[in-house]
Amino acid sequence: MKIFVCIKQVPDTETKIKIGPDASSIDTNGIKWVINPYDEYAIEEAVKYREANAGTQVFALSVGPNKRVSESLRTALAMGADEGIVVNAPENIDSYSTARALAEVIKAEGGADLIFTGKLAIDDNASSVSQMVAEFLGMPHATVVSKFSMSPEGVTVERDIEGGAKEVLGLKAPAVVGANKGLNTPRYASLPGIMKAKKKILKEIEFASLNIPATDTKVKYTQLSLPAEKPAVKMIAGDSSAQVAELVKLLRDEAKVL
Amino acid sequence: MSKVFVFAEHKNGALKRGAMELLQAAAKSGNTVVGMAVGTGADKAAAEMGHHGATEVHILKDASLDAYNSELYAAAVASVLEKVQPQILLASATSTGRDLFPRIAARMKTGIASDCTELNISGDNVTAKKPMYSGKAFANVAFENSPLKIVLMRANQLPVAAADGSKTATVIEQTLAKPDLKTLVKEIVKGTSEKLDLTEANIIVSGGRGLKEAGNFKLLNDLADVLGATVGASRAVVDAGWVSHGMQVGQTGKTVAPTLYIAVGVSGAIQHLAGMSGSKVIVAINNDPNAPIFQKATYGIVGDLFDVVPKLTEEFKKVLKH
Ligand SMILES: Cc1cc2nc3c(=O)[nH]c(=O)nc-3n(C[C@@H](O)[C@H](O)[C@H](O)COP(=O)(O)OP(=O)(O)OC[C@H]3O[C@@H](n4cnc5c(N)ncnc54)[C@H](O)[C@@H]3O)c2cc1C
Ligand SMILES: Cc1cc2nc3c(=O)[nH]c(=O)nc-3n(C[C@H](O)[C@H](O)[C@H](O)COP(=O)(O)OP(=O)(O)OC[C@H]3O[C@@H](n4cnc5c(N)ncnc54)[C@H](O)[C@@H]3O)c2cc1C
């Protein structure tokens, strides 16, 4: 059984964002790159499954600039993935081309019995890639998944929907599953894990070799900008009764949100 | 004239606010507005959609569409899109919208702009603006090589005027050709709250570790009831098991965009701010004047939440009655 885990490398949340001179990218100097937090749940779930089911192989797969993306793949290998595949691609290609690349590589590797992704990437909050990969490979999908099990009958997942409600789905394998927080507790890469990871295969594939037509780029981000400065906070003085009365007045008359 | 297609979500026929926003924005653009609604109550929703600017609405009343199933919905929407051939598709970035439309985009070999907060339609051209890095930057999104331009908008970003009952839409009933499904919805476990989901809520009252224990969330529930708000929480209290993680706001919780966000006993860690900094007006109540939440807040009250919140609830009760 072959499980593929798609991981995206994103700037750490604490990173200060500076816009690049072309205004369609950011200044990547000094950025600390991490594995998209949701993708850690995806890796953990795949590795857990492999540990419980002999004969399973876990492939970690990432599309992006080879140099930095490989680092995250090494981390995934140290967490227990068996093999890494990096698709060396320019910065920030769109979700469509990313998903096409992932689907093409998975096909070329002989297909998947199961694919894990994160529910979304925290840098641009798109939550698109999993569903697109599923569509390109003709598989069912479930996103925002916080419980997963697999049996010969197929995959059962619980996904979080609106208002705290949950949905239990059965999916025929092969399927794409997008991990949410709550699915598991991702392990840290241990020192022995890190040592072992150094010997594991990390295959490189050039995006250009995948023959994805230029017309598969569907969306362009331009004119990146920083948010407008927020006016300074208005601190409300007085005892609590006075504060409360003043706040309600401001919300009604000044902010007009009531 | 171009056709703008609006996929409208509703609850038993009552349109969600996001759907009204999209219909009105589409109508304002001067294009033809074609709507779609599915499931029980779709006919009632269709009538309402007319009042908000749709001239034609396609409905699928099949009760199998009452519960969202990605494959079934994808087939239903794609089949209607093939008939209508719109240039632009608008939907809300809800749980359903975010799950469904990327799949549709892949099927239609077209582009999608997700999680947008601004929308500009001019003829068949559309651009959108979206937050990135949890609101630390914004990008303009433009389409290319996209026969259909799909935009998913966050709720509460666009104005809604009152419905115009004199306007009506032609309703076209479609039938569903059921594909061979690989996805089965086995069960839906209802949430504890009947309130709007955090991602759609117009007002959110959010609590953090300052509340001291689970039982004290009652203070927030009371405040929320008066305001018609949804209650959210920080990760610290979710991890402590006080509330369910569907209530978590932040980087590893939900991204919210209400008009009013009241943060009670929340320190304002960067990962929490990541989920709520898109709120229009932020009120912070905290006994520590140096809490980072005050740097993001519009209005700040330094005080003991156990003293302030009950008084605030009473004050809102008084004012909102009139
Ligand atoms: C500065 C900047 C500029 C950008 N410019 C553009 C632009 O011009 N046009 C545009 O459309 N987009 C642009 N993007 C967004 C862009 O990076 C993508 O949309 C993208 O790489 C696909 O990821 P996503 O955020 O849509 O992933 P999501 O759909 O949110 O991610 C869901 C899951 O898919 C998987 N996944 C996502 N991406 C990858 C990947 N690269 N490798 C492996 N798995 C992955 C992960 O498991 C992830 O958890 C830009 C982003 C940045 C930061
Ligand atoms: C990878 C990662 C992801 C994360 N994701 C999230 C996320 O999605 N969402 C999130 O919220 N956090 C997230 N966090 C956690 C975040 O860093 C903080 O730990 C968390 O937000 C703190 O929660 P808090 O503000 O409730 O608690 P605290 O930081 O303990 O703050 C409690 C506040 O209450 C105030 N207070 C105490 N008593 C009173 C009183 N009587 N009256 C008034 N005020 C009082 C205190 O002054 C303090 O400011 C994440 C962290 C990591 C590392």
Look at residue A43 and tell me whether its pLDDT is greater than 70.
yes
Q: How many Cα atoms are found within 13 Å in the side-chain-facing hemisphere of A34?
A: 14
Residues of chain A numbered 178-217 and touching chain B (CB < 8 Å)? 181-182, 215-217
> A159 to chain B: nearest residue by CA?
B188
| CA B268 – ligand 2 centroid, Å | 6
What pLDDT, on a 0 to 100 scale, did the predictor assign at position B135? 87
Selecting from B191, B297, B319 the residue whose C-beta is nearest the C-beta of A163 gives B191
| CA B321 – ligand 1 centroid, Å | 47
Contact call for residues A220 and A93 (beta carbons, < 8 A): no
Separation of alpha carbons B89 and A216, rounded Å: 19
Q: What is the ipTM of this complex?
A: 0.94
* Neighboring chain A residues of B95 at a CB cutoff of 8 Å: 144, 160-162
Q: Which two tokens stand for residue B274?
A: 């990541």
- Between B101 and B177, residue with greater pLDDT: B101
Look at residue A164 and tell me whether its pLDDT is greater than 90.
no
Ligand with minimal distance to A37 CA: 2
| CA B210 – ligand 2 centroid, Å | 8
H-type alpha helices, chain A: 37-52, 66-79, 95-108, 129-137, 191-199, 240-249
Residue B149's pLDDT band (cuts 50, 70, 90): very high
Q: How many Cα atoms are found within 13 Å in the side-chain-facing hemisphere of B190?
A: 5
Separation of alpha carbons B105 and B4, rounded Å: 15
What pLDDT, on a 0 to 100 scale, did the predictor assign at position B273? 94
Q: Which two tokens stand for residue B66?
A: 């009452």
Binary contact (A181, B107; C-beta < 8 A): no
Q: Report the SS3 class of residue B14.
A: strand
What pLDDT, on a 0 to 100 scale, did the predictor assign at position B318? 93
Separation of alpha carbons A86 and B266, rounded Å: 40
Look at residue B17 and tell me whether its pLDDT is greater than 90.
yes
What pLDDT, on a 0 to 100 scale, did the predictor assign at position A188? 94
β-strand A141-151 against A154-160: which pairing, if any?
A: antiparallel
What pLDDT, on a 0 to 100 scale, did the predictor assign at position B296? 94
Nearest to B33 by CA among B121, B156, B136, B128: B121
What pLDDT, on a 0 to 100 scale, did the predictor assign at position B192? 67
What pLDDT, on a 0 to 100 scale, did the predictor assign at position A139? 98
CB of A139 within 8 Å of a chain B CB? The answer is yes
Look at residue A242 and tell me whether its pLDDT is greater than 80.
yes
Q: What is the pLDDT of residues B261-320, one digit of tens each?
A: 999 999 999 999 999 988 999 999 999 999 999 999 999 999 999 999 999 999 999 998
Selecting from B143, B182, B311 the residue whose C-beta is nearest the C-beta of A140 gives B182
Contact call for residues A48 and A80 (beta carbons, < 8 A): no
- What is the model's pTM? 0.92
Q: Which bin fits A233, alpha (ψ -120 to 50), beta or left (φ > 0)?
A: beta
Separation of alpha carbons B99 and B104, rounded Å: 10
Strand order in the sheet with B299-302: A234-235, B299-302, B281-286, B260-264, B203-207, B230-233
Q: What is the pLDDT of residues A182-230, one digit of tens each?
A: 999 999 999 999 999 999 999 999 999 999 999 999 999 999 999 888 8
Q: What is the pLDDT of residues B120-145, one digit of tens each?
A: 999 999 999 999 998 899 999 999 99
Residue B1's pLDDT band (cuts 50, 70, 90): confident
| CA of residue A227 relative to chain centroid, distance | 24
**B234 has which bridge partners?**
none
Alpha carbon separation from A1 to A7, A58, A83, A235, B180 (Å, rounded): 20, 9, 14, 60, 25
* Neighboring chain A residues of B99 at a CB cutoff of 8 Å: 127, 131, 143-144
Selecting from B112, B138, B200 the residue whose C-beta is nearest the C-beta of A224 gives B138
Residues of chain A numbered 26-55 and touching chain B (CB < 8 Å)? 26, 37-38
What pLDDT, on a 0 to 100 scale, did the predictor assign at position B134? 86
| CA B274 – ligand 2 centroid, Å | 12
Residue B322's pLDDT band (cuts 50, 70, 90): low
Separation of alpha carbons B140 and B118, rounded Å: 9
Look at residue B246 and tell me whether its pLDDT is greater than 90.
no
What pLDDT, on a 0 to 100 scale, did the predictor assign at position B13? 96
Look at residue A88 and tell me whether its pLDDT is greater than 90.
yes
Residue B196's pLDDT band (cuts 50, 70, 90): confident
Binary contact (B143, A218; C-beta < 8 A): yes
Of B198, B211, B235, best ligand 2 pocket probe by most atoms within 8 Å of the beta carbon: B235
Look at residue A30 and tell me whether its pLDDT is greater than 70.
yes
Mean pLDDT of chain A: 96
